[in-house]
Chain A
Amino acid sequence: MILFELFIGFLKVGCFAFGGAYGAIPLIRDVVLSYGWLDDEMLTYMIAVSESTPGPIMVNLATYVGSSQAGILGSLVSTLAVVLPSFVIILLVTAILKAVLKNPYVQAVLRGLKPCMIGIILATGVYMIIRNGIVIGDSVLLIRPLILTLVLGAIYFGSRKIKESGVSPILLICLSALAGIAAYGF
């Protein structure tokens, strides 16, 4: 019963995928390969597509794998299963959040967690800019990505000097897609 298998498989992914999609990919690979839904090559391709299309990577991958196995019903069941655990957990957490946040021990833990998370996000941003814009593979300093990085960075951060709200993240994404087409297409 493929639909039931898809549901259980992606429920597992939803329950144990901590720390965002990149941490979850080994787990997803494990589940998909152990059920024998896809071979390694096809899964790698699907992961690449899920990373490049909008939306949460895990949800994209669940939709994709589900669709490949059992059409629209398969993709619906898989997507529902991967989302269900975090939906329920956040509902529970939110319901007790106010009381829990007052607890001094919880506050102590959060005092460590918050700056740690800022450090992690900062490192991720810095690393992505270095990897995508400055050092690609073994070839250091390719000219096109470097120019794209400088131009997009100048537009995004510079626009705030002119107008307080600046360029919105959505506009930046649209501009960057056009800039990519222009820089690589000619």
Chain B
Amino acid sequence: MNLLLDLFLTFAKIGLFTFGGGYAMISLIEKICVEKKQWITHDEAMTITVIAESTPGPIAINCATFVGFKKNNFLGALIATAGMILPSFCIIFAISKLLDHFLEITWIAHAFQGIKIAVGILILDAAIKMLQKMQKKPMPKVFMLCAFVAMLLINIFSVRISSIILMLTAGLISLILFMVKKPAAKGGDGK
């Protein structure tokens, strides 16, 4: 199939089945773009997720733009991003024009009770896959555990701290550790 058409249809499919924000989409990106189409590697998927989290805007858009650009430069990025947006654009536009009480339709409300649970499972799955591929060293483990506990507490107590603060802190600590270690290594104590 033509690559551009493939990009468009693939991201339209991802857009159509992404519920509950960007994290749930990571499972789909892993499954489709990494395992099935092999457009990007697992490592690239990780890097782009980190970049997406550290730059403004929807994570889904960031991922689509990145993969599209990698496969076919500017045109690829444009087509992939357009594909990502199109399904939700049509759905929301139709809802806004036709359905005034969308969430009060009984069977739709019931379906969403189920989908909500699936979204949790998909996010957990994405995290488990990343954990399995994480370096098995003490440093990453400590960072991961601290972030896990902090984010869980933030969620449970509904504290208004954005995850971006956690990311910034982790990046900063890691940078400081590196800069402290570096002169010592140059000193030749072999550490």
Chain A residues engaging chain B, CB cutoff 8 angstroms: 14-23, 26, 45, 48-60, 63-64, 67-68, 72, 75, 79, 82-83, 85-87, 89-91, 93-94, 97, 101, 104-105, 108-129, 131-133, 145, 148-149, 152-153, 156-157, 165, 168-170, 172-173, 175-181, 183-185
Contact = CB atoms under 8 A, between A and B. Distances in A.
B88 A53 contact: yes
Contacts of A157: 125
Q: Which of A85, A116, A170 has the most CB atoms of chain B within a 10 A radius of its CB?
A: A116
Contacts of A131: 120
B59 interface: yes
B162 interface: yes
B117 A18 contact: no
Contacts of A23: 162-164
Contacts of A72: 93
B166 A116 contact: yes
A110 B17 CA distance: 30
30 contacts: A23-B162, A23-B164, A45-B103, A49-B102, A52-B112, A55-B92, A56-B61, A58-B57, A58-B58, A67-B92, A67-B93, A72-B93, A75-B89, A75-B92, A115-B140, A116-B169, A119-B143, A119-B144, A119-B146, A120-B147, A120-B151, A120-B166, A124-B151, A157-B125, A169-B17, A169-B28, A173-B17, A173-B118, A180-B115, A183-B113
Contacts, number: 365
Interface of B: 13, 15-24, 26-28, 31, 35, 46-47, 49-62, 65-66, 69-70, 74, 77, 81, 84-85, 87-89, 91-93, 95-97, 102-103, 106-107, 109-128, 130-131, 134, 139-141, 143-152, 155-156, 160, 162-164, 166-167, 169-175, 177-179
B85 A55 contact: yes
A122 B111 contact: no
B81 A87 contact: yes
A21 B114 CA distance: 21
Given A56-B60, A129-B120, A90 B51 contact: yes
Given A94-B69, A113-B167, A123-B148, A183 B110 contact: yes
A15 B57 CA distance: 7
Contacts of B58: 17, 20-21, 56-59, 82-83, 86
B47 A128 contact: no
A159 B149 CA distance: 30
B132 to A, nearest CB: 10
A91 B162 contact: no
B61 to A, nearest CB: 5
> Per DSSP, are chain B's interface residues mostly helix, strand or loop, or mixed?
helix
A90 B114 CA distance: 34
Contacts of B123: 121, 124-125, 128
Nearest to A105: B175
B110 A185 contact: yes
Contact of B27 (A22, A127, A169): A169
A86 B56 contact: yes
